[in-house]
Copies of this chain bind each other. A is one copy, B any other.
Amino acid sequence: MPATKGLSIETLGLCLWDSPINLPDTGIFTSDDDVMAVKPNLKTLLDQIREGQEPEAFEVAGPREKIYFEPEKVKAAIVTCGGLCPGLNSVIRAVVMQLWHRYGCRYIEGIRGGYLGLSHDKVNNFNGLTPDDVEQIHTQGGTILGTSRGSPPTEEMADSLIAKGINMLFAIGGDGTMRGAAALTREFTKRGAKIAVIGIPKTIDNDIPWVRRTFGFETAVSIAVEAVKAAHVEAECVFNGIGLVKLMGRESGYIAANATLASGDVNFCLVPEVDFDLEGPRGLFASLEKRLTAREHAVIVIAEGAGQKFFGDAIGRETDASGNPKLGDVGAYLRDQIREYFKSRQIAMTLKYIDPSYIIRTHCGNAGDQLFCARLAQNAVHAAMAGKTGMLIGYWHGRMTHVPFHAISGRQKINPAGELWFNVLESTGQPAQFKK
Residues in chain A within 8 A of chain B (CB atoms): 1, 4, 23-28, 33-37, 40-43, 45-46, 49-50, 55, 57, 60, 62, 84, 93, 97-98, 101-102, 113, 116, 135-136, 138, 140-143, 146-148, 212, 218, 221-222, 224-227, 229-231, 233-234, 236-239, 243, 258-259, 261-262, 264, 352-356, 358-359, 362-363, 366-368, 370-371, 374, 378, 396-399, 416-419, 421-423, 425-427, 429, 432-433
Q: Is the CB of B227 within 8 A of A359?
A: yes
Known interface pairs A356-B359, A398-B398; 12 further A-B residue pairs with C-beta atoms within 8 A, sorted by A's residue number = A24-B433, A25-B417, A27-B417, A40-B397, A142-B234, A147-B238, A225-B367, A243-B358, A259-B367, A261-B371, A262-B371, A353-B358
Chain B residues contacting A354 (CB-CB under 8 Å) are 358-359
- Show 22 A/B contacts (Cβ-Cβ < 8 Å), sorted by A: A26-B421, A34-B41, A37-B42, A49-B49, A84-B234, A136-B264, A140-B233, A141-B233, A142-B236, A146-B239, A218-B368, A222-B366, A222-B367, A230-B358, A230-B359, A231-B358, A261-B371, A352-B358, A354-B359, A355-B355, A366-B366, A368-B368
The CA-CA distance from A41 to B398 in the complex, in Å, is 12
Cβ of A387 to closest chain B Cβ, rounded Å: 21
Residue of B nearest to A27 (CB): B417
Most chain B beta-carbon neighbours within 10 Å: one of A62, A101, A367, A425:
A367
Closest 7 CB pairs of A and B: A222-B367, A233-B362, A142-B233, A230-B362, A262-B370, A142-B237, A397-B397
Cβ of A129 to closest chain B Cβ, rounded Å: 16
The CA-CA distance from A33 to B45 in the complex, in Å, is 13
Chain B residues contacting A57 (CB-CB under 8 Å) are 42
Residue of B nearest to A35 (CB): B42
The CA-CA distance from A45 to B224 in the complex, in Å, is 41
Chain B residues contacting A25 (CB-CB under 8 Å) are 416-417, 432
Residue of B nearest to A222 (CB): B367
Chain B residues contacting A259 (CB-CB under 8 Å) are 367
Q: Is the CB of B26 within 8 A of A432?
A: yes
Contact A24:B432 (CB < 8 A) given known A40-B37, A226-B359, A261-B374: yes
Chain B residues contacting A237 (CB-CB under 8 Å) are 84, 142-143, 146-147
Q: Is the CB of B238 within 8 A of A113?
A: yes
Cβ of A144 to closest chain B Cβ, rounded Å: 9
Q: Is the CB of B4 within 8 A of A367?
A: no
The CA-CA distance from A354 to B362 in the complex, in Å, is 12
Chain B residues contacting A374 (CB-CB under 8 Å) are 261, 423
Q: Is the CB of B229 within 8 A of A362?
A: yes
Most chain B beta-carbon neighbours within 10 Å: one of A33, A233, A433:
A233
Most chain B beta-carbon neighbours within 10 Å: one of A43, A62, A363:
A43
The CA-CA distance from A49 to B42 in the complex, in Å, is 11
Most chain B beta-carbon neighbours within 10 Å: one of A27, A363, A370:
A370
Chain B residues contacting A212 (CB-CB under 8 Å) are 398
Chain B residues contacting A417 (CB-CB under 8 Å) are 25-28
